[in-house]
Amino acid sequence: MSQELNPFKIAQRQFDEAAEVLGLDPATRALLREPMREFHVTFPVRMDDGTVKVFKGFRVQYNDARGPTKGGLRFHPAETIDTVRALAAWMTWKTAVVGIPLGGGKGGVICNPKELSLGELERVSRGYIRALGHYIGDEIDVPAPDVYTTPQVMAWMMDEYSVMKGYNVPGVITGKPIPLGGSAGRGDATARGGIYTVREAAKILGIDLNGATAAIQGYGNAGQFAHHLCVELLGQKVVAISDSRGGIYNPEGLDFEACVAHKKTTGSVINFPGAKNITNEELLELDVVVLYPAALENVITKENAPRIKAKISAELANGPTTPEADVILHENGVYVIPDFLCNAGGVTVSYFEQVQNAYDYYWPLVEVQAKLDEIMTNAFHAVHEAAQEYKVHNRIAAYLVSVQRVAEAAKLRGWV
Ligand code: NAD
Protein backbone atom coordinates (compact mmCIF):
# COMPACT_ATOMS: atom_id res chain seq x y z
CA MET A 1 0.00 0.00 0.00
CA SER A 2 1.37 3.44 -0.88
CA GLN A 3 2.23 5.73 1.98
CA GLU A 4 -0.25 8.52 2.78
CA LEU A 5 1.46 11.90 2.41
CA ASN A 6 -1.58 14.21 2.58
CA PRO A 7 -0.80 16.09 5.83
CA PHE A 8 -4.45 16.46 6.83
CA LYS A 9 -5.16 12.76 6.35
CA ILE A 10 -2.06 12.09 8.46
CA ALA A 11 -3.29 14.52 11.16
CA GLN A 12 -6.70 12.78 11.20
CA ARG A 13 -5.10 9.37 11.39
CA GLN A 14 -2.97 10.44 14.37
CA PHE A 15 -6.06 11.93 16.04
CA ASP A 16 -8.09 8.75 15.42
CA GLU A 17 -5.41 6.66 17.07
CA ALA A 18 -5.44 8.88 20.17
CA ALA A 19 -9.27 9.02 20.23
CA GLU A 20 -9.31 5.23 20.22
CA VAL A 21 -6.90 4.98 23.17
CA LEU A 22 -8.94 7.60 25.07
CA GLY A 23 -12.26 5.95 24.17
CA LEU A 24 -13.71 9.31 23.04
CA ASP A 25 -17.46 9.37 22.34
CA PRO A 26 -18.55 9.57 18.66
CA ALA A 27 -19.74 13.22 18.80
CA THR A 28 -16.46 14.50 20.29
CA ARG A 29 -14.52 12.48 17.72
CA ALA A 30 -16.59 13.87 14.86
CA LEU A 31 -16.14 17.43 16.13
CA LEU A 32 -12.40 17.29 16.75
CA ARG A 33 -11.33 15.51 13.57
CA GLU A 34 -12.54 18.35 11.27
CA PRO A 35 -11.97 22.13 11.16
CA MET A 36 -14.81 24.19 12.64
CA ARG A 37 -14.49 26.92 10.04
CA GLU A 38 -12.42 27.72 6.97
CA PHE A 39 -12.02 30.57 4.52
CA HIS A 40 -10.83 30.48 0.91
CA VAL A 41 -10.07 33.92 -0.48
CA THR A 42 -9.04 35.29 -3.86
CA PHE A 43 -7.55 38.77 -3.95
CA PRO A 44 -5.98 41.04 -6.59
CA VAL A 45 -2.53 42.57 -6.21
CA ARG A 46 -1.00 45.28 -8.42
CA MET A 47 2.46 44.08 -9.47
CA ASP A 48 5.45 46.35 -10.08
CA ASP A 49 5.04 46.13 -13.88
CA GLY A 50 1.49 47.53 -13.63
CA THR A 51 -0.34 44.22 -14.24
CA VAL A 52 -2.74 42.74 -11.69
CA LYS A 53 -2.10 39.24 -10.37
CA VAL A 54 -4.76 37.33 -8.48
CA PHE A 55 -3.63 35.35 -5.42
CA LYS A 56 -5.36 32.61 -3.48
CA GLY A 57 -5.25 32.40 0.30
CA PHE A 58 -6.66 30.26 3.08
CA ARG A 59 -7.41 30.61 6.76
CA VAL A 60 -8.57 27.63 8.81
CA GLN A 61 -9.98 28.13 12.31
CA TYR A 62 -9.77 24.55 13.46
CA ASN A 63 -11.12 24.65 17.00
CA ASP A 64 -11.72 27.41 19.55
CA ALA A 65 -13.04 25.40 22.52
CA ARG A 66 -10.06 26.51 24.65
CA GLY A 67 -9.83 30.11 23.35
CA PRO A 68 -9.42 32.23 20.21
CA THR A 69 -7.76 30.35 17.37
CA LYS A 70 -4.07 30.99 16.87
CA GLY A 71 -1.55 30.00 14.25
CA GLY A 72 0.94 31.06 11.63
CA LEU A 73 0.68 32.13 8.02
CA ARG A 74 2.72 30.55 5.26
CA PHE A 75 3.63 32.11 1.94
CA HIS A 76 4.54 29.11 -0.19
CA PRO A 77 4.11 28.21 -3.87
CA ALA A 78 3.03 24.66 -2.97
CA GLU A 79 0.52 25.70 -0.27
CA THR A 80 -2.66 23.59 -0.23
CA ILE A 81 -5.83 23.72 1.84
CA ASP A 82 -5.06 20.28 3.26
CA THR A 83 -1.65 21.43 4.48
CA VAL A 84 -3.31 24.41 6.16
CA ARG A 85 -5.98 22.14 7.70
CA ALA A 86 -3.31 19.83 9.10
CA LEU A 87 -1.28 22.71 10.48
CA ALA A 88 -4.43 24.21 12.04
CA ALA A 89 -5.22 20.87 13.70
CA TRP A 90 -1.67 20.64 15.01
CA MET A 91 -1.97 24.21 16.37
CA THR A 92 -5.05 23.09 18.32
CA TRP A 93 -3.10 20.24 19.88
CA LYS A 94 -0.05 22.47 20.36
CA THR A 95 -1.78 25.20 22.37
CA ALA A 96 -3.43 22.46 24.44
CA VAL A 97 -0.23 20.52 25.13
CA VAL A 98 1.46 23.63 26.56
CA GLY A 99 -1.75 24.60 28.38
CA ILE A 100 -2.18 28.14 27.02
CA PRO A 101 -5.77 29.44 26.69
CA LEU A 102 -5.99 29.41 22.89
CA GLY A 103 -7.38 27.26 20.11
CA GLY A 104 -5.74 26.38 16.80
CA GLY A 105 -5.75 27.96 13.36
CA LYS A 106 -3.48 28.39 10.36
CA GLY A 107 -3.36 30.31 7.10
CA GLY A 108 -1.46 30.59 3.90
CA VAL A 109 -1.13 32.27 0.54
CA ILE A 110 -0.10 30.43 -2.62
CA CYS A 111 2.85 32.56 -3.75
CA ASN A 112 6.60 32.47 -4.08
CA PRO A 113 7.98 35.28 -1.94
CA LYS A 114 11.44 34.75 -3.50
CA GLU A 115 9.96 36.02 -6.79
CA LEU A 116 8.21 39.07 -5.29
CA SER A 117 9.74 42.52 -4.84
CA LEU A 118 9.48 44.06 -1.38
CA GLY A 119 6.61 46.26 -2.58
CA GLU A 120 4.76 43.28 -4.05
CA LEU A 121 5.28 41.30 -0.85
CA GLU A 122 3.77 44.19 1.13
CA ARG A 123 0.76 44.39 -1.20
CA VAL A 124 0.21 40.59 -0.98
CA SER A 125 0.35 40.84 2.83
CA ARG A 126 -2.10 43.74 2.94
CA GLY A 127 -4.35 42.13 0.32
CA TYR A 128 -4.64 38.96 2.40
CA ILE A 129 -5.70 40.98 5.45
CA ARG A 130 -8.22 43.05 3.45
CA ALA A 131 -9.76 39.77 2.28
CA LEU A 132 -9.88 38.22 5.76
CA GLY A 133 -9.81 41.13 8.20
CA HIS A 134 -13.50 40.83 9.14
CA TYR A 135 -13.03 37.24 10.25
CA ILE A 136 -9.92 37.55 12.43
CA GLY A 137 -9.16 39.66 15.51
CA ASP A 138 -7.51 39.56 18.91
CA GLU A 139 -10.54 37.84 20.43
CA ILE A 140 -11.31 35.64 17.40
CA ASP A 141 -8.25 34.41 15.53
CA VAL A 142 -4.66 35.67 15.74
CA PRO A 143 -2.13 34.94 12.96
CA ALA A 144 1.67 34.76 13.35
CA PRO A 145 4.74 34.05 11.18
CA ASP A 146 5.51 30.68 9.63
CA VAL A 147 7.41 29.50 6.55
CA TYR A 148 8.54 32.50 4.44
CA THR A 149 6.67 35.11 6.48
CA THR A 150 8.59 37.52 8.68
CA PRO A 151 8.16 40.15 11.42
CA GLN A 152 7.98 42.77 8.63
CA VAL A 153 5.07 40.87 7.02
CA MET A 154 3.37 40.79 10.44
CA ALA A 155 3.91 44.57 10.77
CA TRP A 156 2.22 45.30 7.42
CA MET A 157 -0.65 42.98 8.30
CA MET A 158 -1.16 44.54 11.73
CA ASP A 159 -1.15 47.99 10.13
CA GLU A 160 -3.68 46.99 7.47
CA TYR A 161 -5.99 45.53 10.09
CA SER A 162 -5.63 48.66 12.24
CA VAL A 163 -6.51 50.81 9.20
CA MET A 164 -9.65 48.69 8.68
CA LYS A 165 -10.62 49.16 12.34
CA GLY A 166 -9.68 52.82 12.58
CA TYR A 167 -7.48 52.36 15.64
CA ASN A 168 -4.30 50.55 16.60
CA VAL A 169 -4.79 46.81 17.24
CA PRO A 170 -1.38 45.31 18.00
CA GLY A 171 -2.91 42.12 19.44
CA VAL A 172 -4.40 41.01 16.10
CA ILE A 173 -1.14 39.43 15.08
CA THR A 174 1.99 38.16 16.84
CA GLY A 175 5.62 37.87 15.80
CA LYS A 176 5.64 41.64 15.22
CA PRO A 177 8.84 43.71 15.38
CA ILE A 178 9.49 44.87 18.95
CA PRO A 179 8.81 48.61 18.29
CA LEU A 180 5.27 47.65 17.18
CA GLY A 181 4.42 45.58 20.25
CA GLY A 182 6.43 42.44 19.59
CA SER A 183 7.64 40.44 22.58
CA ALA A 184 11.23 40.19 23.65
CA GLY A 185 12.33 36.62 22.93
CA ARG A 186 9.82 35.86 20.13
CA GLY A 187 12.56 35.62 17.49
CA ASP A 188 14.25 32.52 18.86
CA ALA A 189 11.29 31.17 20.84
CA THR A 190 10.50 28.17 18.61
CA ALA A 191 14.06 26.88 18.66
CA ARG A 192 14.60 27.79 22.32
CA GLY A 193 11.49 25.89 23.40
CA GLY A 194 12.69 22.89 21.38
CA ILE A 195 16.14 23.08 22.97
CA TYR A 196 14.55 23.02 26.44
CA THR A 197 12.72 19.80 25.50
CA VAL A 198 15.94 18.24 24.17
CA ARG A 199 17.63 19.10 27.48
CA GLU A 200 14.82 17.31 29.37
CA ALA A 201 14.85 14.30 27.03
CA ALA A 202 18.62 13.92 27.44
CA LYS A 203 18.22 13.89 31.24
CA ILE A 204 15.71 11.06 30.97
CA LEU A 205 17.77 9.12 28.44
CA GLY A 206 21.04 9.65 30.34
CA ILE A 207 22.70 11.36 27.37
CA ASP A 208 25.45 13.92 27.96
CA LEU A 209 24.79 16.65 25.41
CA ASN A 210 28.03 18.50 25.97
CA GLY A 211 29.96 18.00 22.73
CA ALA A 212 27.20 15.75 21.36
CA THR A 213 26.73 16.05 17.60
CA ALA A 214 23.70 17.62 15.91
CA ALA A 215 22.36 17.89 12.34
CA ILE A 216 19.78 20.52 11.39
CA GLN A 217 17.56 20.31 8.31
CA GLY A 218 16.25 23.75 7.29
CA TYR A 219 18.08 26.98 7.97
CA GLY A 220 15.37 29.59 8.49
CA ASN A 221 13.95 30.94 11.72
CA ALA A 222 13.69 27.57 13.48
CA GLY A 223 16.88 26.03 12.07
CA GLN A 224 19.26 28.97 12.48
CA PHE A 225 18.26 29.66 16.07
CA ALA A 226 18.49 25.93 16.81
CA HIS A 227 22.10 26.03 15.60
CA HIS A 228 22.93 28.99 17.84
CA LEU A 229 21.07 27.71 20.92
CA CYS A 230 22.02 24.04 20.87
CA VAL A 231 25.63 25.22 20.99
CA GLU A 232 25.07 28.03 23.49
CA LEU A 233 22.67 26.31 25.89
CA LEU A 234 23.56 22.63 25.52
CA GLY A 235 27.19 22.71 24.34
CA GLN A 236 26.36 20.63 21.26
CA LYS A 237 28.50 20.43 18.12
CA VAL A 238 26.55 21.06 14.91
CA VAL A 239 28.13 18.98 12.15
CA ALA A 240 25.53 19.43 9.38
CA ILE A 241 22.95 21.97 8.24
CA SER A 242 20.85 22.35 5.09
CA ASP A 243 18.35 24.49 3.24
CA SER A 244 16.18 24.02 0.15
CA ARG A 245 19.29 23.92 -2.10
CA GLY A 246 21.17 21.22 -0.16
CA GLY A 247 23.32 20.66 2.89
CA ILE A 248 26.86 20.81 4.24
CA TYR A 249 28.78 18.53 6.58
CA ASN A 250 31.92 18.99 8.65
CA PRO A 251 32.64 16.44 11.41
CA GLU A 252 34.73 19.09 13.22
CA GLY A 253 31.66 21.31 13.62
CA LEU A 254 30.17 24.30 11.80
CA ASP A 255 30.54 27.80 13.18
CA PHE A 256 27.17 29.53 13.59
CA GLU A 257 28.19 33.10 12.72
CA ALA A 258 30.16 31.98 9.67
CA CYS A 259 27.28 29.81 8.37
CA VAL A 260 24.75 32.62 8.76
CA ALA A 261 27.08 35.08 7.03
CA HIS A 262 27.67 32.59 4.18
CA LYS A 263 23.93 32.04 3.69
CA LYS A 264 23.34 35.77 3.76
CA THR A 265 25.90 36.50 1.06
CA THR A 266 25.35 33.48 -1.21
CA GLY A 267 21.66 32.76 -0.57
CA SER A 268 22.35 29.20 0.60
CA VAL A 269 24.41 27.19 3.07
CA ILE A 270 25.93 25.05 0.29
CA ASN A 271 29.56 25.48 -0.87
CA PHE A 272 30.63 26.54 2.62
CA PRO A 273 34.45 26.67 2.86
CA GLY A 274 35.89 23.60 4.60
CA ALA A 275 32.64 21.60 4.56
CA LYS A 276 31.46 18.86 2.22
CA ASN A 277 28.23 19.38 0.28
CA ILE A 278 25.63 16.71 1.08
CA THR A 279 21.98 16.21 0.14
CA ASN A 280 19.05 16.80 2.47
CA GLU A 281 18.46 13.03 2.44
CA GLU A 282 22.04 12.31 3.53
CA LEU A 283 21.78 14.85 6.35
CA LEU A 284 18.82 13.04 7.88
CA GLU A 285 20.71 9.74 7.97
CA LEU A 286 23.91 11.05 9.60
CA ASP A 287 25.19 9.33 12.72
CA VAL A 288 24.47 12.20 15.12
CA VAL A 289 23.11 12.34 18.65
CA VAL A 290 20.35 14.88 17.91
CA LEU A 291 18.60 15.42 14.61
CA TYR A 292 16.62 18.65 14.24
CA PRO A 293 14.20 18.49 11.30
CA ALA A 294 13.40 22.21 10.87
CA ALA A 295 12.12 22.53 7.29
CA LEU A 296 8.92 20.99 5.95
CA GLU A 297 6.58 17.98 6.19
CA ASN A 298 7.10 14.30 5.31
CA VAL A 299 10.89 14.18 5.22
CA ILE A 300 11.16 11.07 7.44
CA THR A 301 9.16 8.31 5.78
CA LYS A 302 9.02 4.51 5.96
CA GLU A 303 11.77 4.45 3.28
CA ASN A 304 14.46 6.33 5.20
CA ALA A 305 13.26 5.81 8.80
CA PRO A 306 15.18 2.51 9.18
CA ARG A 307 18.40 4.41 8.36
CA ILE A 308 17.91 7.25 10.90
CA LYS A 309 20.74 6.91 13.43
CA ALA A 310 20.05 9.86 15.73
CA LYS A 311 19.22 9.10 19.37
CA ILE A 312 16.81 12.05 19.57
CA SER A 313 14.75 13.56 16.75
CA ALA A 314 13.63 17.00 17.88
CA GLU A 315 10.92 18.06 15.47
CA LEU A 316 11.08 21.82 15.10
CA ALA A 317 9.26 21.49 11.77
CA ASN A 318 5.59 20.59 11.64
CA GLY A 319 4.79 17.11 10.36
CA PRO A 320 8.30 15.96 9.36
CA THR A 321 7.59 12.28 10.18
CA THR A 322 4.92 10.06 8.60
CA PRO A 323 2.91 7.68 10.83
CA GLU A 324 4.66 4.65 9.30
CA ALA A 325 8.03 6.21 10.06
CA ASP A 326 6.94 6.96 13.63
CA VAL A 327 6.47 3.26 14.31
CA ILE A 328 9.88 2.39 12.82
CA LEU A 329 11.68 5.11 14.81
CA HIS A 330 9.97 3.98 18.01
CA GLU A 331 10.96 0.33 17.40
CA ASN A 332 14.54 1.40 16.69
CA GLY A 333 14.76 3.38 19.93
CA VAL A 334 14.91 6.86 18.37
CA TYR A 335 13.42 9.21 20.94
CA VAL A 336 11.10 11.53 18.98
CA ILE A 337 10.09 14.84 20.53
CA PRO A 338 6.94 15.34 18.47
CA ASP A 339 6.41 18.53 16.48
CA PHE A 340 3.53 20.10 18.33
CA LEU A 341 5.40 19.69 21.61
CA CYS A 342 8.93 20.44 20.37
CA ASN A 343 8.08 23.58 18.40
CA ALA A 344 5.45 24.98 20.81
CA GLY A 345 7.86 27.64 22.08
CA GLY A 346 6.86 29.91 19.19
CA VAL A 347 3.18 29.97 19.99
CA THR A 348 3.92 30.17 23.71
CA VAL A 349 5.85 33.42 23.31
CA SER A 350 3.22 34.58 20.79
CA TYR A 351 0.71 34.09 23.59
CA PHE A 352 2.97 36.13 25.90
CA GLU A 353 2.98 38.81 23.19
CA GLN A 354 -0.84 38.86 23.13
CA VAL A 355 -0.95 39.17 26.92
CA GLN A 356 1.58 42.03 26.87
CA ASN A 357 -0.35 43.79 24.07
CA ALA A 358 -3.57 43.51 26.09
CA TYR A 359 -1.89 45.05 29.14
CA ASP A 360 0.27 47.43 27.12
CA TYR A 361 3.04 46.47 29.53
CA TYR A 362 6.17 44.67 28.39
CA TRP A 363 8.30 42.05 30.12
CA PRO A 364 12.09 41.86 30.09
CA LEU A 365 13.74 39.07 28.09
CA VAL A 366 14.79 37.06 31.15
CA GLU A 367 11.19 36.92 32.34
CA VAL A 368 9.97 35.71 28.93
CA GLN A 369 12.65 33.02 28.81
CA ALA A 370 12.02 31.81 32.37
CA LYS A 371 8.26 31.55 31.73
CA LEU A 372 8.90 29.73 28.44
CA ASP A 373 11.26 27.27 30.12
CA GLU A 374 8.71 26.43 32.80
CA ILE A 375 5.91 25.85 30.28
CA MET A 376 8.02 23.74 27.90
CA THR A 377 9.51 21.66 30.70
CA ASN A 378 6.08 20.92 32.20
CA ALA A 379 4.63 20.05 28.79
CA PHE A 380 7.56 17.75 28.00
CA HIS A 381 7.12 15.80 31.24
CA ALA A 382 3.33 15.56 30.84
CA VAL A 383 3.88 13.93 27.43
CA HIS A 384 6.70 11.68 28.64
CA GLU A 385 4.57 10.47 31.55
CA ALA A 386 1.58 9.80 29.25
CA ALA A 387 3.86 7.72 27.00
CA GLN A 388 4.91 5.63 30.00
CA GLU A 389 1.38 5.32 31.40
CA TYR A 390 -0.34 4.35 28.14
CA LYS A 391 2.69 2.52 26.65
CA VAL A 392 2.49 4.47 23.39
CA HIS A 393 5.11 6.40 21.42
CA ASN A 394 5.63 10.07 22.18
CA ARG A 395 3.50 11.48 19.36
CA ILE A 396 0.43 9.54 20.42
CA ALA A 397 1.21 10.49 24.04
CA ALA A 398 1.24 14.17 23.06
CA TYR A 399 -2.12 13.68 21.36
CA LEU A 400 -3.51 11.99 24.46
CA VAL A 401 -2.60 14.98 26.63
CA SER A 402 -3.95 17.56 24.15
CA VAL A 403 -7.04 15.84 22.86
CA GLN A 404 -8.16 15.19 26.44
CA ARG A 405 -7.84 18.91 27.22
CA VAL A 406 -9.70 20.09 24.11
CA ALA A 407 -12.41 17.44 24.59
CA GLU A 408 -12.85 18.53 28.21
CA ALA A 409 -13.29 22.19 27.14
CA ALA A 410 -15.82 21.21 24.44
CA LYS A 411 -17.74 19.15 27.00
CA LEU A 412 -17.73 21.91 29.63
CA ARG A 413 -19.13 24.33 27.03
CA GLY A 414 -21.95 21.87 26.46
CA TRP A 415 -21.02 21.25 22.80
CA VAL A 416 -20.84 17.49 23.08
P1 NAD B 1 11.62 29.75 7.37
O2 NAD B 1 10.89 30.20 6.16
O3 NAD B 1 12.26 30.76 8.23
O4 NAD B 1 12.75 28.69 6.93
C5 NAD B 1 12.46 27.53 6.21
C6 NAD B 1 13.79 26.87 5.89
O7 NAD B 1 13.54 25.58 5.31
C8 NAD B 1 14.63 27.64 4.88
O9 NAD B 1 16.00 27.58 5.25
C10 NAD B 1 14.44 26.85 3.58
O11 NAD B 1 15.56 26.94 2.71
C12 NAD B 1 14.32 25.45 4.15
N13 NAD B 1 13.67 24.54 3.21
C14 NAD B 1 12.59 24.75 2.43
N15 NAD B 1 12.34 23.66 1.68
C16 NAD B 1 13.27 22.75 2.04
C17 NAD B 1 13.56 21.42 1.62
N18 NAD B 1 12.78 20.83 0.71
N19 NAD B 1 14.60 20.78 2.19
C20 NAD B 1 15.38 21.39 3.12
N21 NAD B 1 15.16 22.64 3.55
C22 NAD B 1 14.13 23.29 3.00
O23 NAD B 1 10.60 28.85 8.18
P24 NAD B 1 10.59 28.51 9.73
O25 NAD B 1 9.73 29.49 10.41
O26 NAD B 1 11.96 28.25 10.20
O27 NAD B 1 9.77 27.14 9.70
C28 NAD B 1 10.40 25.87 9.53
C29 NAD B 1 9.50 24.81 10.12
O30 NAD B 1 9.28 25.13 11.49
C31 NAD B 1 8.11 24.71 9.48
O32 NAD B 1 7.67 23.38 9.51
C33 NAD B 1 7.26 25.54 10.40
O34 NAD B 1 5.90 25.19 10.33
C35 NAD B 1 7.89 25.18 11.73
N36 NAD B 1 7.59 26.13 12.80
C37 NAD B 1 8.00 27.42 12.76
C38 NAD B 1 7.66 28.26 13.81
C39 NAD B 1 8.13 29.69 13.87
O40 NAD B 1 7.89 30.33 14.91
N41 NAD B 1 8.81 30.19 12.88
C42 NAD B 1 6.90 27.79 14.88
C43 NAD B 1 6.52 26.46 14.90
C44 NAD B 1 6.87 25.64 13.85
Do residues 123 and 190 share a domain? no
CATH of the domain at 83: 3.40.50.10860
The answer to whether position 216 is within a domain reads: yes
Q: Which of 180, 214, 240 is the last residue of a domain?
A: 180
Do residues 55 and 169 share a domain? yes
Do residues 123 and 241 share a domain? no
Which of 296, 315, 341, 351 is the pocket-test mutation for ligand 1 (most atoms within 8 Å of CB)? 296
pLDDT in tens, 11-48: 999 999 999 999 999 999 999 999 999 999 999 999 99
The answer to whether position 249 is within a domain reads: yes
Do residues 141 and 233 share a domain? no
Per-residue pLDDT at 228 exceeds 90: yes
CATH of the domain at 311: 3.40.50.720
Rounded mean pLDDT, 333-355: 97
Do residues 249 and 129 share a domain? no
Distance CA 375, CA 372 (A): 5
**% of the chain exceeding 70 in pLDDT:** 99
Q: Which of 164, 180, 196 is the last residue of a domain?
A: 180
Q: Report CA(297)–ligand 1 centroid distance (Å).
A: 10
pLDDT of residue 1: 44
Do residues 344 and 233 share a domain? yes
**Ligand 1 closest atom vs CA 186:** 40
**Ligand 1 closest atom vs CA 343:** 43
The answer to whether position 409 is within a domain reads: yes
pLDDT in tens, 303-330: 999 999 999 999 999 999 999 999 999 9
The answer to whether position 32 is within a domain reads: no
Do residues 143 and 239 share a domain? no
Distance CA 379, CA 366 (A): 20
CA distances from 326 to 107, 166, 299, 335 (A): 26, 49, 12, 10
Which of 87, 92, 109, 190 is the pocket-test mutation for ligand 1 (most atoms within 8 Å of CB)? 190
pLDDT of residue 5: 85
- Residues noted as catalytic: 106
Do residues 367 and 395 share a domain? yes
Do residues 196 and 125 share a domain? no
Do residues 110 and 214 share a domain? no
CB 222 within 8 A of CB 345: no
Q: Report CA(224)–ligand 1 centroid distance (Å).
A: 10
Q: What is the DSSP pairing of strand 246-249 with strand 237-243?
A: antiparallel
Q: Take atom 23 of ligand 1 and give the residue whose Cα is closest.
A: 147
Q: Residue 152 sits in which domain range?
A: 37-92+102-180
pLDDT in tens, 263-275: 999 999 999 999 9
pLDDT of residue 415: 97
pLDDT in tens, 380-403: 999 999 999 999 999 999 999 999
The answer to whether position 339 is within a domain reads: yes
The answer to whether position 7 is within a domain reads: no
pLDDT of residue 4: 79
User: How many domains is the chain built from?
Assistant: 2
CB 283 within 8 A of CB 307: no
pLDDT of residue 2: 61
Q: Report CA(264)–ligand 1 centroid distance (Å).
A: 16
The answer to whether position 342 is within a domain reads: yes
Do residues 187 and 167 share a domain? no
Do residues 291 and 353 share a domain? yes
Q: Report CA(413)–ligand 1 centroid distance (Å).
A: 36
